[in-house]
Amino acid sequence: QVQLVESGGGLVQAGGSLRLSCAASGIIFTINSMGWYRQAPGKQRELVAEITSGGSTNYADSVKGRFTISRDNAKNTVYLQMNSLKPADTAVYHCNGGPTPIKSVAMYNWGKGTLVTVSS
């Protein structure tokens, strides 16, 4: 079965950094474009970063210049390096994807996510 396990969240002060990891199993990881999503309390889930199977990336305007998405196909893992964190980044972060070459389609069941809390 498909399993997406997020980790790396925690409590950090504004201006700090965190690196999130998403370990995928049950999929052919190399052909999947992947994305990181976040959902704050009372807010809609939003796509913050995505990386295609070929390594192309795209970011939401709110995180451009601060977040970097990457992948390690040998480890079936996608990462989100988050720098210069702001309180507005506080959310539960999830990963998802799909076997498309040009974008990250969220076609799998959502995992539990990992909570990022940024204090001021």
Distance, CA of 24 to CA of 108 (rounded, Å): 11
Cα distance between the two ends of the chain: 40
Distance, CA of 53 to CA of 107 (rounded, Å): 15
Q: For residue 101, what pLDDT is reported?
A: 85
Kindly state the DSSP code that residue 11 receives in the 8-state scheme: E
Each of the 120 residues of the chain gets a pLDDT tens digit; together they read: 999 999 999 999 999 999 999 999 999 999 999 999 999 999 999 999 999 999 999 999 999 999 999 999 999 999 999 999 999 999 999 999 999 888 878 999 999 999 999 999
Q: Are 28 and 73 in contact (CB under 8 A)?
A: no
Distance, CA of 114 to CA of 94 (rounded, Å): 7
Q: Are 118 and 93 in contact (CB under 8 A)?
A: no
